[in-house]
Amino acid sequence: DIVLTQSPGTLSLSPGERATLSCRASQSVSNSYLAWYQQKPGQAPRLLIYGASSRATGIPDRFSGSGSGTDFTLTISRLEPEDFAVYYCQQYAGSPRTFGQGTKLEIK
Amino acid sequence: QVTLRESGPALVKPTQTLTLTCTFSGFSLRRSGMCVSWIRQPPGKALEWLALVDWDDDKYYNTSLKTRLTISRDTSKKQVVLTMTNMDPVDTATYYCARGSGASCYVFDDWGQGTLVTVSS
């Protein structure tokens, strides 16, 4: 199985700041088949990014993804109050498809 | 508009079989490229993909749970059913069904609201 390790576990920032979230894979994720999701308390996850860098429909351009191989990054350029949530990465290159353990983005 | 809704028991006893139903609208599971998955999330923990059925009625399972899972579809009812045998307290989780996106069956861009299943005697 491809194990995804997200860091940091918790990130404390203020609105308007830039957030950088990391996802590292235990082996190379072919074709950059890496997605990012946002989850707020009591809600289902919401797709943000797929293919490492393609934004899903309706996702604001302050969200961007980058990376390849084993190292991937989700960047939120200027945090809005509604961005504070838990973020998960997911690989869909290898079987089984796996998720990271999540990064909690909290208000400082 | 795509919607998915999970239904099933909120409480099951250890060793019992869980049956969950995902009722969807806004798309046809017969259309090429369409897929529906089940994904679960224990309280306070990460997501785990369980199983997928696609437009061709092909089925795929998480190998770690494959012996316990069965996924099936009823296209006329617009439903996907997941059964999980021999339930254990560690299977306590919110169970989601989700539709695969155009990018990949395994990129989930529409989700149900989830249903919490507690396993306890």
Task: Give, for all 108 residues of chain A, the pLDDT tens digit.
Answer: 999 999 999 999 999 999 999 999 999 999 999 999 999 999 999 999 999 999 999 999 999 999 999 999 999 999 999 999 999 999 999 989 999 999 999 999
pLDDT of amino acid B102 = 79
Q: Which of B94, B68, B49 is nearest to A44 (CA)?
A: B94
Q: Which of B99, B86, B119, B116 is nearest to B7 (CA)?
A: B116
pLDDT of amino acid A107 = 95
Cα–Cα–Cα angle for A91, A97, A99, nearest 5°?
60
Closest partner residue to B46 (CB to CB) among A54, A96, A100 is A100
Q: Name residue A22's amino acid.
A: S
Residue in chain A nearest B65 by alpha carbon:
A96
Q: Provide the token pair at A95.
A: 């079987």
B51 to chain A, closest Cα gap in Å: 9
Dmax (CA) of chain B: 43
Coil, strand or helix at A91 = strand
Q: Provide the token pair at A85.
A: 């949530």
Q: Does the beta-carbon distance from A100 to B106 stay under 8 Å?
A: no
The mean pLDDT of B47-56, rounded to a whole number, is: 96
pLDDT of amino acid B23 = 98
Q: Is the peptide bond before A45 cis (omega within 30 degrees of 0)?
A: no
Q: Mean pLDDT for chain B? A: 96
Residue B111 has pLDDT above 90, yes or no: yes
Contact A26, A2 (CB under 8 A): yes
